[in-house]
């Protein structure tokens, strides 16, 4: 079958590998120039944490070893108190399980190489999908608009603001929701200190500060990339170098000490938005073509979970499995993937509930001591993170529920908002323990 994938990001490239392995002819369209020759795009995170289910997706293609060779394992998180006290919380009782810090750009380059190593994959850069017509795909290129014949199957792996999904949203019966948190994120750098890591590179570092949080992941060049998750007004409030320095010296003193370019980085680096998007279903028929979605295009989640790419990778595994089961019937397979992903999500939520419940009861029967401490720490962190929610700091902005024009207004009323608030509460709790849960997703 001839398949078009729109978006050669992390998930689009991985999917190209899976589909070409099944013998399909894949054309990848990407709006950016080839990142292997043009350098990394600004505005995305510099590094990201890949955990077991992401690695599993790579392992099935024989790519895990090569990718992990450049990754830095983080077997636990290091909590930084304001007085400089450090607490290490391992992700597993015996310290054998780790999440992995990896450069986004390096991972994307590797996955592109892996996709293009298949003779039945063609990548076309500098093609931004602008519209989907009757059996055609319309692209904007440097040389002007280009219309291409659409393949029978078109899969949108074009990220949270997907142009493919925009076309699906216009179909009757497609639900869509988008929630912005009142928080933004900003990246900063902790350079090497005298040629060495300024902090322990074997941990994901977290500075929890009530309504705000900073995290840091190590890079192979011995620097750390920090990400601030702060309310928008707090980010905007530090509007002079003096205010930036004073705030960091008070709230993050150990980090401020090792950030010589803090004020200029802070002024220069952009603020990103935190958005969760959902779409249901993830497929439909447009202009005589079967359209499907994977990765952030189908389900963008806020980055502090550290799960978006991992989840998108798992979409590829599930789509491959469903294609196997349906004899490469793409319509049937695309329909089955969200249900399979829902089962994984419920499994993770059940584990979250188990950790929280056990921790609240104050004892975990038969669970090793470190595991028990970890569960309690997760519950404590979750309690701390529930505060901003209760204080009303997080707001729900239901921008649009596509296909809902013919529904009574009650369908988008208080009930939905109530459920969204509940979901957000769950998100914040899960954030405190997400990587711990991910560790066991295959169970």
Ligand X SMILES: Cc1cc2nc3c(=O)[nH]c(=O)nc-3n(C[C@H](O)[C@H](O)[C@H](O)COP(=O)(O)OP(=O)(O)OC[C@H]3O[C@@H](n4cnc5c(N)ncnc54)[C@H](O)[C@@H]3O)c2cc1C
CB-nearer residue toward ligand X: 34 or 373: 34
Task: List all residues 6 or more positions away from 136 whose beta carbon is below 8 Å from its beta carbon.
Answer: 147, 148, 149, 150, 287
Tokens describing residue 2: 């001839």
- What residues line the site for ligand X (CB under 6 A)? 6-12, 29-32, 45, 48-49, 128-129, 157-159, 163, 185, 227, 272, 295-297, 303, 306-310, 312
Is the Cβ of residue 17 or residue 297 nearer to ligand X in the bound state? 297
3-state secondary structure of 9: coil
Separation between Cα atoms, residue 239 and residue 226, nearest integer Å? 19
CA 320, 325, 327 angle in degrees (round to 5)?
A: 90
Output the CA–CA distances (angstroms, integers) from residue 356 to 187, 368, 415, 430, 437, in the order listed. Answer: 31, 16, 26, 10, 11
CB of 411 to ligand X, least distance (A): 28
In the bound complex, what is the minimum distance in angstroms from residue 426's beta carbon to ligand X?
A: 18
Min separation Cβ 347 and ligand X, Å:
18
Name the token pair of 151.
């393949």
Q: 440 vs 244, 314, 347, 405, 436, CA distance in Å?
A: 40, 14, 10, 41, 8
Residue number with CB closer to ligand X (6 or 437): 6
Specify the residue, 88 or 161, whose C-beta has the smaller distance to ligand X: 161
We find the least distance from the C-beta atom of residue 30 to ligand X, in angstroms, to be 5
Closest separation in Å from C-beta 139 to ligand X: 7
Cα–Cα distance, 437 to 405 (Å, whole number): 38
Name the residue nearer to ligand X (CB basis): 6 or 244. 6
Residue closer to ligand X by CB (options 299, 376) is 299
CA distance linking residue 321 with residue 318, whole number of Å: 5
In the complex with ligand X, which residue's Cβ is closer, 303 or 378?
Answer: 303
Nearest approach in angstroms of CB 376 to ligand X is 24
- DSSP-derived letter for residue 171 is S
| Best CA proximity match to 432, nearest among 373, 400, 388, 384 | 384
Shortest distance, position 118 Cβ to ligand X, whole Å: 18
Whether 182 contacts 228, CB under 8 Å: no
């Amino acid at each position: 079958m001839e398949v078009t994938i729109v978006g050669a990001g992390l998930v689009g490239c991985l999917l190209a590998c899976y589909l070409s392995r099944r013998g399909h002819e894949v054309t990848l369209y990407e709006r950016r120039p080839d990142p292997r020759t043009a350098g990394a795009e600004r505005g995305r995170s510099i590094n990201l944490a890949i955990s077991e289910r992401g690695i599993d997706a790579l392992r099935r293609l024989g790519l895990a070893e090569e990718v992990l060779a450049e990754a830095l394992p983080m077997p636990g998180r290091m909590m930084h108190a304001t007085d400089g006290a450090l607490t290490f919380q391992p992700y597993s009782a015996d310290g054998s399980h780790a999440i992995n810090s990896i450069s986004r750009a390096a991972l994307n380059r590797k996955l592109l190489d892996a996709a293009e190593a298949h003779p039945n994959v063609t990548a076309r850069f500098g093609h931004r999908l602008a519209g989907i017509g009757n059996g055609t795909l319309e692209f904007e290129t440097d040389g002007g608009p280009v219309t291409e014949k659409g393949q029978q199957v078109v899969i949108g792996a074009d990220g949270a603001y997907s142009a493919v999904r925009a076309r699906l949203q216009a179909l009757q019966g497609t639900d869509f929701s988008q929630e912005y948190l009142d928080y933004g994120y900003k990246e900063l750098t902790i350079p090497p200190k005298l040629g060495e890591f300024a902090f322990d590179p074997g941990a994901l570092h977290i500075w929890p500060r009530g309504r705000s949080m900073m995290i840091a992941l190590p890079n192979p060049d011995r620097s750390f990339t920090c990400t601030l998750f702060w309310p928008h007004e707090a980010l905007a409030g530090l509007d002079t170098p003096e205010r930036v320095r004073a705030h960091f010296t008070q709230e993050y003193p150990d980090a401020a000490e090792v950030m010589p370019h803090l004020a200029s980085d802070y002024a220069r680096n952009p603020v990103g938005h935190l958005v969760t998007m959902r779409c249901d279903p993830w497929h439909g028929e447009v202009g005589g073509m079967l359209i499907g979605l994977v990765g952030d295009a189908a389900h963008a989640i806020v980055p502090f979970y550290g799960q978006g790419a991992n989840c998108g990778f798992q979409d590829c595994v599930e789509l491959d499995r469903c294609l196997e089961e349906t004899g490469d019937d793409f319509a049937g397979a695309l329909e089955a993937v969200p249900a399979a992903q829902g089962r994984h999500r419920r499994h993770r939520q059940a584990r979250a509930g188990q950790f929280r419940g056990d921790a609240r009861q104050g004892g975990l029967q038969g669970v090793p001591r470190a595991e028990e401490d970890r569960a309690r720490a997760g519950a404590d962190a979750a309690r701390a993170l529930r505060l901003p929610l209760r204080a009303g700091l997080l707001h729900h902005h239901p921008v649009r529920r596509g296909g809902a024009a013919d529904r009574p207004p009650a369908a988008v009323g208080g009930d939905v908002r109530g459920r969204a608030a509940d979901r957000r509460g769950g998100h914040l709790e899960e954030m405190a323990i997400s990587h711990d849960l991910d560790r066991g997703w295959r169970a």
